[in-house]
Amino acid sequence: MQIHHLPYADPGDPDVRSGTRFLLWLGRNQLGGQVKSLLWGLLLHLGIAGSPLGVGLAVQAVIDRSGGDLARAGALLAVLGAAIAVGDTMMHRTAVTNWITAAARVQQLLARKSAELGSLLNRRVAAGEVVAVSTGDVEKIGWFVETLSRFAAAATTLVLVCVGLVVYQPALGVVVAAGVPVLALAALPLLPRATRRADVQREKAGRATELASDTVAGLRVLRGIGGEDLFLGRYREASQQVREAAVHSARMWALIAAVQVLLPGLLLVVVVVYGAGLALEGRVTVGELVTVYGAVALAHHPLRNFEEIAMAYSFSRPSAKRAAGVLALTRTTATGPAAAGELPAGEPPAGETPAGDPPGGDLYDPVTGLLAPAGLFTAVVCGDPDAAGRLADRLGGHPPGEPEAHVSVLLGGTPLDELPLGTARTAVLVQDKDPVLLSGTLRELLDVPASGRVTPGDALAAARCGDVLDALAQASADPGGDPMDTRITERGRSLSGGQRQRLALARSLVTDPEVLVLDEPTSAVDSHTEARVAAGVRELRTGRTTVVLASSPLLLDLADRVVFVRDGRAVAVGTHRELLAAEEHYRAVVTRETEEDTLVDIEEPA
């Protein structure tokens, strides 16, 4: 896999049983790139390791006054120099390719999981955690995958150097062969403590990132209540904890680096002292001593890869564990009566659903008893905005809570969670009360998977986006240009809250799903616009199932039927005017009466 081939057609099915298994899975999936990097690394390291041999031969040729030997030594050094240049260039290229492609694979896996889980993701994982995994963690994971091949090349080179020195000069080679394993493994006793400190640093950094993300998201609210200084103090405290943990961790890694410098130096001293004695005794030549000395002096180059792989693993293992934790999340599977085919009393019988096609029929929630008949405009009144949000998630097949406690919503008698993800998303679309607009042109915003029955123009008209189009036309770089080609800033910050809400509604209408669930779709617009939007949605969605969670009388009055949900159960069904006359609690929610007013109304004689 090369960088220009990204993204992957299929990033694969990751092993998420643990962070280590996930890292090994990534390495195995890039076996071709790892082998290329290993071979180029061997060329580089062996070129470096062979240089002392050429220098030793050249020194001995000068001592022996042999011009031919000196020329051969020069030719050998030239070949080794070329090998070093080519090996270093190509190893760096292949290693960085491994890094980027591994990071891209993880990014694709995370994006696929985010699309699979939808709004359920940020209910199971904090927003700051998702940010940390998709940014810093991905980089650390790619770093470890990249170091694997370089470490393998360095370890292989050290083995070959030790064997070669024993064959070339046994007396000195044995000393080097005994010392190099000690150098390579000297840092092992320090790694557990360094890893623990790195884990603490990563944990504190994750908390600080989460705090910063939450603070930025709620900045407008914080300014409104004067809480900026309070949260700034909390973030400052969290930042100081991250700094202290980083310093604490860096001290251990500094000690490991010092060991990696000290021990090779001691081995070099031993080789020089012992080799000088052997040279004085005539047991080794000066050229052989220079060769062995040079080989030991240059051994620090491959040895650095041992320290780097240890650091990469220590930092990437917690990151891989976090990524594996996110990737291990699954869609909630239906359990209980619905999954077993036992439908509650009054539930319509299940119909036959062709494989791969979105099922049709009524939308039914066994938990609340909410029934949205097919083809009708159903409004749901909860009174509690949080309860309404949870109900909207349930209707879309993404309820909060533990999977084992979940009973699936039924569409046409078919449990929604038993459908393939693509089919479920085609069948039911949920628009949150706070939808997100991505940056890009309006045309790109409305270019979403759709049935094709609703054009962008129809959707914009139904959502009453005429003023939005005018504003975009004025903001266009080309006066009089098409507002569909005007860029919308990130999250639509250049638009008002009501304009953003209506554009998001238009995007949902374009998809034209079998069932459209809208959570407070007009909460940010004025009453006049709200009535026009409700009428437009009702007209455009004629013959399609639409569920709107709202408490606005203007919207409720246009609904075919209204369901009143109280304490988690559907307690009343009828038209808005019928419920307004018959249900005191419903009237209290819709007209914003206080609890005392409601009690007075209940106690008054007819």
Q: How far apart are CA 586 and CA 383, in angstroms?
A: 8
C-alpha separations of 605 from 460, 568, 582, 585, 586 in Å: 49, 29, 14, 17, 19
Q: Where are the beta strands (DSSP E) in 152-205?
A: none
The two beta strands, 440-441 and 487-488, are antiparallel
Cis peptide before 7 (omega within 30 of 0): yes
Res 155 pLDDT > 60:
yes
Summarised one tens digit per residue, pLDDT across range 62-115 is 888 888 888 998 999 999 999 999 999 999 999 989 999 898 899 899 888 887
Contact (Cβ atoms closer than 8 angstroms) between residue 303 and residue 158: yes
Q: Which among 345, 427, 397 has a CA at the least distance from the CA of 116?
A: 397
Contact 519, 431 (CB under 8 A): yes
CB 514: neighbour CB atoms within 10 A?
A: 20
pLDDT for the residue numbered 349: 37
The pLDDT assigned to 178 comes to 87
Give the bridge partners for 562, in sequence order.
379, 574
Q: Which helix (H) or strand (E) holds 380?
A: strand 377-381
For residue 234, the model assigns a pLDDT of 77
What was the pLDDT predicted at 311? Answer: 80
Is the distance from CB of 502 to CB of 469 less than 8 angstroms?
Answer: no
Mean predicted lDDT score pLDDT of the chain: 82
Structure tokens at 305: 């890869």
Residue 512 has pLDDT above 80, yes or no: yes
State residue 541 phi and psi, 5-degree precision: -95, 15
Whether 176 and 267 have beta carbons less than 8 Å apart is answered as: yes
pLDDT at residue number 198: 76
Give the span between the Cα atoms of 103 and 111, in whole angstroms: 12
What digits encode the pLDDT tens for the residues 276-332? 888 888 888 888 888 888 888 888 788 888 878 888 887 788 888 888 888 888 765
E strands, 465-576, are 487-488, 515-519, 545-549, 561-566, 569-574
**d(Cα 448, Cα 436) in Å, to the nearest integer?**
14
| Averaged pLDDT, 456-484 | 84
Instruction: Taking residues 350-374, report their average pLDDT.
Output: 75
State which H helix or E strand residue 270 sits in. helix 228-280
Encode pLDDT of 448-462 as tens digits: 888 889 999 999 999
Q: Please tell me the predicted confidence (pLDDT) of residue 356.
A: 54
Q: What is the Cα–Cα distance from 286 to 272, expressed in whole angstroms?
A: 11
Contact 317, 19 (CB under 8 A): yes
Q: Give the strand order in the sheet containing 545-549.
A: 428-431, 515-519, 545-549, 377-381, 561-566, 569-574
| Predicted local distance difference test score (pLDDT) of residue 337 | 38
The 10s digit of each residue's pLDDT in 389-435 is 888 888 887 665 544 456 889 998 888 888 887 788 788 999 888 77
User: What pTM was computed for the model?
Assistant: 0.62
